[in-house]
Structure 1
């Protein structure tokens, strides 16, 4: 540990022979894209959406219910406060957002795990908030703390994920008011990657900050972000008291606040992608402005969660062209606002099974998010049933897709080594290049190597039991958990965290609802 309390020890490293299942763990985890972001909209269209967001903020306004402190901050900044509704003159809220940084670091407990948010960076994290889990052996069931810890371990092991997420699943065997303590303890002890803290109560937010101070040191935490808060807007146009109070607690502690409006087109806002984008921008800017009124320079992420609906049945749809177009527009709008962007839903699907529909929905949503230049992708692994379920099998199948996309976003080199001229001296016309020095130098890293897909002759596949992708994925996640090794943590810090959790739990009655 250094002088300001930041943990600097290195985690254990285990060398193993290069196999199909452990090779990618040793490969670099790409975090910066080299393929430029795609701009969907022209200047006129972007200005029209921004003008509509200003219109919403001026004429409709945003309500901050149950949080007099937030209302007082807005009133002091010159906004028009009428009861719990806050309205802004055109351009005012955007001006309040200007102190938010365009790029910042989110520190891991081990410095090598630190990531950058903003610019050309890309941070992937697993699903969030599912009350159920599923796997091929036990089927669909309520999630437990053991499941939560399993997914933190899997995210820690995954080279394609840079972040272990937040409420990866709801540990329903722990009282609601105490869950954040067990979840924070799991994130801090089972992984050294960045993570998210509790937001379901102001006390939960404060407990999360206190536990992070124990793990990283109070002085370090005051100047550096180590975790994020997921602040959901109660769309349309409402921040409830719990969310805005949690926002203020994280902002005061200089921890990253991600503002995430959640708009299902036709239900929480008008139907069109343009209207959803404008309302998302308006709601998000109001929350970002509040973070800056609490603490100028507080790191933020402009988030969104949006989908279309089947307007004949009311069922949510994911990966639809309309939602994907909205994703692409929001990334542009976030860049113009000058803050990092969490746009889109990652590998999301409405499918009830790990099937072709699930992967098609997920691939469509992920492509739009990555091509549009989003900086942080939530729900990048495991999501099923519109978020009701985290699937163990889909989790590892999604990891393969994440890894492939990260590799693709690097493009390819054109230096002398890339052209392999020396190989032509070893293999002339009509000869293969498999044993050339160039091939041998690069064969372990040249191609992305997925862990689940299996090629080869039909006869071999048939003789080996005709296993489908989800069956192979089931074997893979179990192997990963068997191989899991926790990162190092000083005994004094581990003891302090355990004591804090025990004391807080002892002082709280069990609340199950």
Structure 2
């Protein structure tokens, strides 16, 4: 062997490897950080035009022949009636509302296909709709869990911790809403603490309260303190996540909340929670048709209140175990349904919320991540614009897991790289990488490698990719245990984003006055 000939290449290799070691930090992925993802890959169109038209026709038939039952909100019924709906009184507080085919689509023409939700830090303002995708944490769990303390009811301290974890992740774009239920705070007052936690411990966009119209109004009033009343009057700064009562019911608490957000020009998400075989047909085409009908009828109310108010079409499609009656999450059939919902949303030119990191596993284990990936990828491939439940979902949504939260965030980072797509250029084709040293020579020290080594591949902050022997020597720590260490490190080093002291004081004063105005309510 000609050692003198090989020496320069060896020196280049050592220098290249040394430079990589000094510069690269695991899990940084600085080139992938964005306030929201701009899709660089196409959506997957599962069904052809004929099949989509049949689903739309079935949704129209549901709306025209069966109708939507509305309860305890005569003002919403009045708005639908004046828009041309056929209203039949069922009782003093309930009405059946039917819509001629095409009526709701016409009403929804004024809803924006894409809108901006402003964050208090303008660098974190997000776009929702079109080719934009936003990841937000999971929502609504009464329990929290971690490897140290097991499963327990959530507290306001847990809520604040989870907001901090979300704020600390570069792979979430949104602070979310009810990340867990803080059950140590009275039901009628906890919305104030939750909204304040999002405002104080995060500088990202967030969701407000929807559990009563007056709580929705409080959420918007607090935004007027944070952002300024004039800014809120002209811009979207908060969203509400509203569920229909399936099958085919809109209750008064929901419609009054929708009207409260729409009157203020704020955004709302309109979500049927469909459990196949229980509150929707167990066949996926039927569930999707029902989902479309319910979400359209809910979205349309926003345009009757204030044309142009942002509205997000949504679907939470779920299968069930027909042997036990238990919901199942992360299964393939609802994933296919999410793909179809994406196509239908694009035909309506409405932003879409669907799917997420769903799982019925009781631990942050292999089942949890397998089910999550099945569900999350359907949202990615289907073109979802706002993906709630992107981090922490466990136990069929009953529990928010600290460990799974950081595991899901790591996956979300990988999805940033996946959704960026493949750039094809003279540089990325890499001809020079092969030509520099020629056949039979490695590429470690080439100029192309040194130019791209920090950005070529996504680098996990959580995975262990070392050889087996090294992993064993370091204790054989599994992914859940690594995640346990990781969330504790994040919280130990967390620093709250700065907030103007006068604004913070005004928010705390508002909360104190509101809480003092009513007795504690626990139901």
TM-score bucket of the superposed structures, by smaller chain: over 0.9
Matches within 5 A, 1:110-509: 110-344=121-355, 346-424=356-434, 426-509=436-519
CA distance in 2, matches of 1:138, 1:125: 25
Q: 1:94 aligns with which of 85, 90, 105?
A: 105
Residue deviations 1:23-66, cap 9 Å, x none?
55984455111111011111111111111111111111112211
Distance in 2 (alpha carbons) for counterparts of 1:58 and 1:23:
51
- The residue number in structure 1 matching 2:5 is none
Counterpart-to-counterpart distance in 2, 1:169 and 1:99: 34
Deviations 1:416-436 (A, max 9, x none): 332345545653333322233
Distance in 1 (alpha carbons) for counterparts of 2:254 and 2:367: 34
2:106 alignment partner, SS class:
helix
Cα contact 1:25–1:159 (8 A) shared by 2:
no
Structure 1 residues 279 and 287, CA gap change in structure 2 (3 angstroms): same
- The superposition leaves residues 230-285 of structure 1 with CA deviations (integer Å, 9 ceiling, x where unpaired) of 11001011111111111000000111110001110110011111110111111111
Is the CA contact (8 Å cut-off) linking 2:35 and 2:125 kept in structure 1? no
Is 1:24–1:449's contact at 8 Å kept on the other side of the alignment? Answer: no
Q: 1: distance between equivalents of 2:50 and 2:281? A: 21
Q: Per the alignment, do residues 23 and 333 of structure 1 end up closer, same or farther by CA in structure 2, a change over 3 Å counting?
A: closer
Supply the distance in 2 between the matched residues of 1:337 and 1:500 (Cα, whole angstroms): 40
For 1:28 and 1:244, the matched residues in 2 are separated by 34
SS of 1:196 mapped into structure 2: coil
What residue in structure 2 maps to residue 5 of structure 1?
none
CA contact (8 A) 1:25 1:157 kept: no
Give distance in 2, aligned partners of 1:104 and 1:98: 14
Give yes or no for the alignment of 1:38 onto 2:49.
no
- Please report how far the alpha carbon of residue 369 of structure 1 lies from its aligned counterpart in structure 2 after TM superposition: 1.2
| Residue 75 (structure 2) aligned to one of 63, 66, 69 | 69
SS class of match (1:209): helix
1:485-511 Cα deviation digits (max 9, x unpaired):
211221111111111111111112111
**Judging changes above 3 Å, is the alpha-carbon distance between structure 1 residues 311 and 78 closer, same or farther for their aligned structure 2 residues?**
same
| TM norm structure 2 | 0.92
CA distance in 2, matches of 1:68, 1:362: 41
RMSD, aligned α-carbons: 1.6
Q: Flag structure 2 segments of 5+ consecutive residues without an equivalent.
A: 1-21, 90-94
Once the two structures are superposed, what CA deviation does each residue of 1:91-113 show, in whole Å capped at 9, x if it has no partner? 11111111100111111111111
Aligned to 2:26: 20
Contact 2:36 2:173 in 1 (8 A): no
Q: CA deviation at 1:378?
A: 1.2
Cα deviation per residue 1:69-109 (whole Å; 9 max; x = unaligned)?
10111111111111211111111111111110011111111
> What count of residue pairs does the alignment treat as equivalent?
497
Gapped runs of 5+ residues in structure 1? 1-15
More displaced 10-residue stretch of structure 1: 420-429 or 74-83? 420-429
